[in-house]
Structure 1
Amino acid sequence: MADLAAKSALNKSVTPLLIPYSDYKASIRTYIRDLMQKKSDTHELMLSYVSFNNADTNKIAKISGTVTNVAERKQAWMSSTFDQSHAATKAVDGDTTADGFSHVAHTATDQSSAWWKVDLQTTVRSARVTLYFRTDFKYRRNGVHLYTSETNSVHPKEGNLCHNVTGRPDGADIPDVLNVICPGTWRYLTVYTDTDNDGDGPVLDFAEVQVWICTVGMYGPDCTRSCSSRHCKVLSSTCDHITGTCRAGGCQDGWMGVDCTTECPSGAYGANCAKNCSSRPCKTSSTSCNRISGACPDDGCEDGWMGADCTKDGSKDGGAVACATVIGSCTTWPRVPDCSSVFTAALCRLRRGSWWLRAIGAWNRVLPNIPLWP
């Protein structure tokens, strides 16, 4: 089962990997650790979050998305150390085993407060923090605080409070694994407590702290969306790891939304779905149309309009070509000295019997000294 799970996790697709809880507890830590070792160059791992109830052996652990743990093997330190075997670095060594004293970072007892800090050595934004509490001794969970900051302050509580763990003093009602998103932009994460739950003073002892961000090219709450799959006018394989916002230029025709992944609703079309089907000057009007082109039915446009969606003014941008078959040659009108596009389009509109006032205006602007009629 562990081998199958590891192979599935290495697959770059976003298909969820489902693991029965009965197999989860014995294998999850092993294959995740093996996977991280195999990919230690990038530390990529298919992981979102783990949710299960010890009382329900039919629960499923769901792993999906592509993320990177930027806390692993980074510089870490804490207010005091129980002994050399329980240093701050134990909590960023990649080992999430938490069922014994030997696996945890541990501060000294009989202190007024305790803190642990990691320097991610990079700036993150709205990153997910996962903390693995010690499972064989739960008294040090209640009262734990998470703080984030952009600078390394001597004051452990300086920065922004991300989360406060609350529950019974014996920790029995607090989950073994804490998952929380810490908003804002930050580089340093501090775990802090000044709560004495067991008479030994405020103490921290936990197995691992992870800080997850999307790998390059992925975005979204669970890092399951690919930047390359967006429908931006300016295509890019990288994007904002939270919103996936398209760059200047917006969306391709037929798409809308911050990341341009939402199709136009019925009745709208074009770039960012900004055009209305019912506003097109088609000969046959309709409140619905092709969401990309907005093309009018086969019978075409009303007089004086052109283009697939009939929104291009026939007196501009090549109107003369569109109307050539209607007005005939230049010799049809003895007083016409040439066939300039604006001039010819004006005649087109006049001869077709619509928009005639605008046509006369165009004639007068182009040929002010030549009368329209002999």
Structure 2
Amino acid sequence: MGHTENLSKKPTTVLSQSSTYGMGNASYANDGNLNTTESDCAHTAHNQSKAWFQVDLGKPHGIQHVKIYYRREGDGAIDWKQYRFRKFYLDVSNSSASGSMTSQRARCFTDNTKEPTLPPNIIDIPCEQWARYVIVESTYKAPEDNRSTGPILEICEIEVYGN
């Protein structure tokens, strides 16, 4: 397997997302801050039909695994949790999220969590693929979400390990 590094941290890596809510720019998912409160996370906009978040490695790399830190505000009953992370999927591709159909991608993971269960908010996904783009995508509308009619991604940090 050899030496792996966090490819997200390379200076040539570009992060982008399908839309942006408030101050939740894509760059928050690559700042080394592993806090999972809203102000530390990339955040897509409300009322979209699809939400995606993309790591562009600049050129194809040998990817080993992808670690995602998703928004979770705390363990208390009223604390906001990772409801919007259900049913997400992780794809890799050599064409970008906006320019590719899912058929042009390799699927590394699909979350099948059903409400009221929550997926883990920190998840490390094996994804041994050769690809340029790492894409987190969702079309899921969380029933707990009374603010949006569509999917939202709130990715606090994403680490793409490979060589």
After TM superposition, what 4+ stretches of structure 1 lie above 4 angstroms from structure 2? none
Q: TM-score, normalised by structure 1?
A: 0.37
Shift of 1:206: 1.7
> Within 2, Cα distance between the matches of 1:207 and 1:170?
22
1:86 is matched with 24
Measure how far apart 1:66 and its partner are: 5.5
The CA deviation string for residues 296-315 of structure 1, in whole angstroms up to 9 with x for no partner, is: xxxxxxxxxxxxxxxxxxxx
Task: Say whether residues 1:76 and 2:15 are aligned partners.
Answer: yes
> Which of 113, 135, 144 is matched with 1:190 structurally?
135
Q: Which has the higher contact order (CA 8 A, sep 6+)?
A: 2
Residue type of the partner of 1:76? Answer: L
Q: CA deviation at 1:170?
A: 4.4
How many residues are aligned here? Answer: 147
Preserved contact between residue 63 and residue 160 of structure 2 (Cα < 8 Å): no
8 Å contact kept, 1:75–1:120:
yes
> 1:141: how far off?
1.3
Q: Does 1:204 align with 2:150?
A: no
Where in structure 1 are there 5+ consecutive unaligned residues?
A: 1-64, 215-374
Decide whether aligned partners of structure 1 residues 76 and 177 sit closer, same or farther in structure 2, where only a CA change above 3 A counts. Answer: same
- Pair 1:107-2:107 in alignment: no
Q: Which structure's residues are more often strand, by fraction?
A: 2
Percentage identity across paired residues of the two chains: 27
Answer yes or no: is 1:147 the counterpart of 2:91.
yes
1:166 counterpart residue number: 112
Do 2:24 and 2:43's aligned partners in 1 also have CA atoms closer than 8 Å? yes
| CA shift for structure 1 position 90 | 1.0
Asked if 1:96 is matched to 2:45, the reply is: no
User: 3-state SS of the aligned residue for 1:71?
Assistant: helix
Q: Supply the RMSD in Å over aligned alpha carbons.
A: 2.0
Counterpart of 1:140 in 2: which secondary structure? helix
**Once the two structures are superposed, what CA deviation does each residue of 1:87-145 show, in whole Å capped at 9, x if it has no partner?**
111111221111x1101100011111111111112422242100011122211111111
- Aligned counterparts of 1:160 and 1:109: Cα–Cα separation in 2: 27
Residues 264-343 of structure 1 aligned to structure 2 (within 5 Å): none
Counterpart-to-counterpart distance in 1, 2:39 and 2:156 = 9
Q: Give distance in 2, aligned partners of 1:106 and 1:93.
A: 14
Instruction: Compute the displacement of 1:171 (Å).
Output: 4.8
Structure with a larger share of its residues in helix: 1
Q: 2:53 and 2:152 mapped to 1: Cα distance? A: 10
- Asked whether 1:178 is paired with 2:127, we answer no
Counterpart secondary structure, 2:68: strand
Please show how residues 24-35 of structure 1 align to structure 2 within 5 Å: none
**Equivalent residue, structure 2, for 1:256:** none
Secondary structure class of the residue paired with 1:91: helix
Give the alignment partner of residue 138 of structure 1, picking from 71, 82, 90.
82
User: How far apart are the structure 2 equivalents of 1:156 and 1:190?
Assistant: 12
How far is 1:184 from its partner?
A: 2.4
- Tell me if the contact between 2:48 and 2:151 (Cα under 8 Å) persists in the aligned partners: yes
Q: Matched residues in 2 for 1:103 and 1:126: separation?
A: 25
